[in-house]
Structure 1
Amino acid sequence: MEILRQIGVILGVCLAGVLLSSFLPLPVPANVLGIVLLFALLCLRIVKPSHIEKTGDFLLRNMSFFFIPASVGIMEYYAVVKDHLVLLLLICAITAVLTFAVTAYTVTAIIRLQERRKKKGE
């Protein structure tokens, strides 16, 4: 029953993102609004991590499964993409490296902040 409640919370936030997207005159995708909304709810402690933890962990462990439809879609348009395949692969490689670098920098910065807070508390 707990899993169903967690799925309900996540789907409810997704639905709220869809509703926000339809009412706001901004060109922001509904899924991005849903993620921002979930982040805000977590920051405000309206939703606690324990409310979505098990389902969130399951979704993260199986994230590669969700990329299959996009990959199949790209393969269906291979004739359109084939002329630009090298450029697309180069862009993918560069953005992957940039993502790794930004993630590493962010994690390092957060660890330093946590260590500073820990030293202030002592």
Structure 2
Amino acid sequence: MNILWQVGILFVVCLAAQWLVTLLPFAFPASVLAMILVFLLLLAGVIKVRQIKELSNWFAQNMAFLFVPACAGVLNYFDLIAANLFPILFISVVTTFLVFGATGWTVKGLMRLQARLRKEKEGQENG
């Protein structure tokens, strides 16, 4: 599919998300809502993966470049970050281990579930 059509599809989704955010009674990032909308549209089959695949691959390949403005914006608050460096580092380390543990337990649980489902399926086929 033409890259301009792919940009157009994502632009319309982002525009719809921006509009929906104005209707919400609470603050919510339009970019997150746009990702949720794309996910739901993909699940519903309204958008096909092939329709946004080329642009999505380009975004994935150039992700580091897309974070440059955000990193430059952090430099505006360097004095605030430097003043709170220990709490920020502490929270980062603790949450890293929490995420690591939660991910490990989730994978372990899913592996057990798959093994159990596989055994049940084999039991049904043999029995």
* TM-score, L = length of structure 1: 0.76
Q: Distance in 2 between matches of 1:65 and 1:102?
A: 30
Give yes or no for the alignment of 1:18 onto 2:14: no
The corresponding residue for 1:29 is: 29
Structure 1 residue 26 displacement after superposition: 2.9
The corresponding residue for 2:110 is: 109
| Number of residues of Structure 1 aligned to a counterpart in Structure 2 | 118
Q: 1:77 to 1:64 in 2, by over 3 A?
A: same
RMSD: 2.8
The corresponding residue for 2:49 is: 49
Q: Distance in 2 between matches of 1:72 and 1:64?
A: 13
The corresponding residue for 1:73 is: 73
Superposition pairs of residues 84-95 of structure 1, within 5 angstroms: 84-95=84-95
Q: Distance in 1 between matches of 2:79 and 2:13?
A: 38
| Structure 1 residues not aligned, in runs of 5+ | none
Q: Distance in 1 between matches of 2:15 and 2:84?
A: 36
1:69-122 CA distance string (max 9 Å, x none): 12111212211221111221332334344445555636x839x66xx59x69x9
Structure 1 residue 32 displacement after superposition: 1.4
The corresponding residue for 1:39 is: 39
| Structure 2 residues not aligned, in runs of 5+ | none
Matched to 2:110, the amino acid is A
Q: Distance in 1 between matches of 2:52 and 2:91?
A: 34
Identity %: 34
Q: Distance in 1 between matches of 2:6 and 2:43?
A: 17
Q: Distance in 2 between matches of 1:62 and 1:3?
A: 15
Q: Distance in 1 between matches of 2:100 and 2:50?
A: 28
